């Protein structure tokens, strides 16, 4: 099985003009298309047409997409997702602008996720022939790429099982009520590659999203992002700080509609045979916010 | 300028014209449970007991339903009072987190110029 990564996140925004200002001028993504009431963006270190889709009206997640390497993978995903008991349908090329045909799955948590094999290539902003290290005139925080999302589900174990059985993701870290085999799973961080997470799942109301994250190049860029948020009056939830979970450095912040975003850098190299880290509730404060070591009142309750 | 009276403790706080309830309370040195501050997460909902509010941004129907609006639920991060209002926090009390901010906000409202000797020395 060969899912490559989370390729796009599609969210609703209440005011498109403000959202374009945020994702374009503050986050520093490049707008690649505006069509049928949707606006499409990509980061400078991404080569496919888009990684963020905004749609006006409401707030929260519409769906997200995962790219597979080979069209032949889709048959297997369709069969396994059906066997799992998810709602599965074929989607045709063009249902999503610039995106190939694929498989659409409605998870038991009601989240919609799509698997596709190709998207119109746009190219890296630095090109691929003798490239420079980064574009000279980055805007805002200059986010290079979409990294992961944390979605919210009533039954975390069930959604973890979906990503394991259907698309071969593996957990790198988990939050559980104890170390016992039958402990209740509160959250899980899962990857398909060697980063800490492509998707994470937190216990809570079905269909919600906690945040989606952009990968930054390091701690210096996280601090710089914090400065830009101050200049742009972007509401910051917490940070700059470090997560105990994943060891990543972070700022959580909100877009103008209240969708939570994250800048994330670091983490560590993950492998399938690496032992899974387990966090238990007495250390959850340190796990989420490593320096303050206590949860703020928003982390477990604020989502869209 | 409008005032907001916050139940259950009956604390009266002056607002600037055009200021949201959330912004005004924090400017005056108070705090309560809030989230995104941008109208998306719905955590800062309060009950509007009297008076009227307007919304300075579009508020999503899945955050604040028409029925909630009609029955007095108010999304405090986006709600701008039209005249004096009274709200009730839900299962919490307004917390005074900065006596310094409260002191200077009162002074700015013309309720006495603070003398240096009477200024609070900490929040």
Question: For the segment A185-242, what is each residue's pLDDT rounded down to a tens digit?
Answer: 999 999 999 999 999 999 999 999 999 999 999 999 999 999 999 999 999 999 999 9
What was the pLDDT predicted at A161?
98
The answer to whether residue B67 scores a pLDDT higher than 60 is yes
Q: What is the DSSP letter of A234?
A: P
Q: What is the mean pLDDT of residues B40-68?
A: 96
CB A141 within 8 A of CB A216: yes
Q: Number of residue pairs across A and B with CB atoms under 8 Å? A: 63
Q: What is the mean pLDDT of residues A275-292?
A: 96
For residue A256, give its domain range: 145-301
Is A246 within the bounds of a domain?
yes
Please report which helix (H) or strand (E) contains residue B52, including its range.
strand B45-55
- The per-residue pLDDT for range A143-169, each reduced to its tens digit, is 999 999 999 999 999 999 999 999 999
Please report which helix (H) or strand (E) contains residue A10, including its range.
strand A3-13
Q: Does one domain contain both A88 and A151?
A: no
Q: ipTM > 0.85?
A: yes
pTM score, whole prediction: 0.94
The answer to whether residue B18 scores a pLDDT higher than 90 is yes
Q: Does one domain contain both A96 and A160?
A: no
What was the pLDDT predicted at B117?
44
- The mean-pLDDT minimum among A51-55, A122-126, A292-296 falls in A292-296
Q: Which residues of B62-71 are buried (b: 16+ CB within 10 A; e: fewer)?
A: ebbeeeebee
- The per-residue pLDDT for range A46-89, each reduced to its tens digit, is 999 999 999 999 999 999 999 999 999 999 999 999 999 999 99
Q: Does one domain contain both A104 and A156?
A: no
* CATH number of the domain residue A80 falls in: 3.10.180.10
Count of structural domains within chain A = 2
Q: Does one domain contain both A109 and A222?
A: no
Question: Is A258's Cβ below 8 Å from some Cβ in B?
Answer: yes
Q: Does one domain contain both A57 and A190?
A: no
Domain boundary pick from A70, A97, A116? A116
Q: Does one domain contain both A106 and A44?
A: yes
- The per-residue pLDDT for range A27-40, each reduced to its tens digit, is 999 999 999 999 99
Is A30 within the bounds of a domain?
yes
Closest residue of A to B40, CA-based? Answer: A258
- Kindly state the tokens that stand for A189: 């961080």
Q: Does one domain contain both A100 and A202?
A: no
Contact A14 B35 (CB under 8 A): no
- Kindly state the tokens that stand for B74: 């108010």
Q: Does one domain contain both A71 and A190?
A: no
Q: Which candidate from A57, A259, A298 shows the least CB-CB separation from B40?
A: A259
Q: Does one domain contain both A82 and A221?
A: no
Is A129 within the bounds of a domain?
no
List chain B residues with CB under 8 Å of A304: 36, 40-41
**A127 vs A44: CA distance, rounded Å:** 10
Which B-chain residues 7-46 have CB contacts (< 8 A) with chain A? 33-41, 43
Is A24 within the bounds of a domain?
yes
**A198 vs A213: CA distance, rounded Å:** 10
CB B9 within 8 A of CB B94: yes
Is A131 within the bounds of a domain?
no
What was the pLDDT predicted at A1?
59
Q: Does one domain contain both A181 and A264?
A: yes
Q: Does one domain contain both A191 and A96?
A: no
Tell the burial category of A52 from Cβ atoms under 10 Å away from its Cβ (0-12, 13-18, 19+). Answer: buried
Is A132 within the bounds of a domain?
no
Question: Is A291's Cβ below 8 Å from some Cβ in B?
Answer: no
Is A122 within the bounds of a domain?
no
* Angstroms from A8 CA to nearest CA on chain B: 21
Catalytic-residue membership of A22 = no
- A272, A224, A246: which is closest to A147 by C-alpha? A246
Q: Which candidate from A59, A298, A301 shows the least CB-CB separation from B40?
A: A59
Is A133 within the bounds of a domain?
no
Q: Does one domain contain both A167 and A254?
A: yes
* Angstroms from B50 CA to nearest CA on chain A: 27
* Contacts (Cβ under 8 Å, ≥6 apart) of B39: A14, A59, A257, A258, B57, B59, B60, B63, B75, B77, B78
Mutate to test the interface with A, among B42, B57, B60, B64 (most CBs of A within 10 A): B60
What mean pLDDT, rounded, does chain A reach? 97
Contact B40 A258 (CB under 8 A): yes
């Amino acid at each position: 099985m060969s899912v490559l990564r989370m390729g796009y996140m599609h969210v609703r925004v209440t005011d498109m003009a403000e959202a374009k200002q945020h994702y374009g001028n503050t986050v520093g993504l490049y707008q690649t298309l505006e069509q049928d009431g949707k606006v499409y963006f990509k980061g400078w270190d991404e080569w496919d047409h888009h990684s963020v889709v905004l749609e006006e009206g409401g707030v929260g997640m519409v769906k997200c997409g995962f790219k597979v390497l080979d069209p032949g993978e889709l048959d297997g995903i369709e069969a396994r997702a059906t066997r799992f008991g998810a709602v599965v349908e074929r989607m045709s090329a063009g249902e999503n602008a610039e995106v190939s045909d694929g498989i659409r799955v409605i998870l038991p948590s009601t989240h919609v996720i799509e698997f596709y094999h190709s998207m119109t290539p746009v190219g890296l902003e630095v090109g691929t022939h003798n490239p420079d290290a980064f574009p000279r005139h980055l805007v805002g925080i200059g986010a290079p790429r979409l990294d992961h999302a944390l979605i919210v589900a009533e039954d975390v174990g069930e959604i973890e099982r979906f990503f394991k059985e259907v698309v071969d993701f593996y957990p790198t870290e988990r939050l559980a009520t104890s170390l016992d085999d039958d402990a209740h799973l509160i959250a899980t961080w899962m990857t398909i590659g060697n980063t800490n997470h492509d998707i994470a799942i937190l216990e809570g109301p079905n269909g919600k999203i906690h945040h989606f994250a952009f990968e930054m190049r390091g701690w210096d860029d996280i601090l710089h992002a914090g400065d830009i948020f101050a200049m742009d009056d972007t509401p910051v939830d917490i940070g700059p700080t470090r997560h105990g979970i994943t060891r990543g450095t972070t700022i959580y912040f909100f877009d103008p509609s209240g969708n939570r975003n994250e800048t994330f850098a670091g983490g560590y190299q993950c492998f399938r045979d690496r032992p899974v880290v387990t966090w238990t509730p007495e250390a959850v404060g340190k796990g989420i916010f490593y320096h303050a070591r206590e949860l703020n009142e928003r982390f477990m309750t604020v989502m869209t | 300028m409008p005032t907001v009276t916050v139940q259950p403790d009956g604390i009266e706080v002056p607002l600037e014209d055009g200021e949201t309830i959330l912004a005004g309370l924090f400017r005056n040195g108070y705090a309560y449970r809030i989230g995104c501050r941008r109208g998306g997460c719905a955590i800062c909902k309060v009950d509007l007991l009297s008076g009227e509010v307007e919304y300075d941004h579009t508020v999503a129907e899945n955050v604040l339903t028409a029925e909630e609006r009609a029955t007095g639920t108010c999304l405090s991060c986006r709600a701008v009072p039209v005249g004096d209002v009274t709200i009730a926090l839900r299962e919490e009390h307004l917390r005074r987190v900065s006596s310094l901010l409260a002191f200077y906000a009162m002074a700015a409202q013309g309720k006495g110029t603070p003398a240096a000797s009477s200024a609070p020395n900490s929040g």
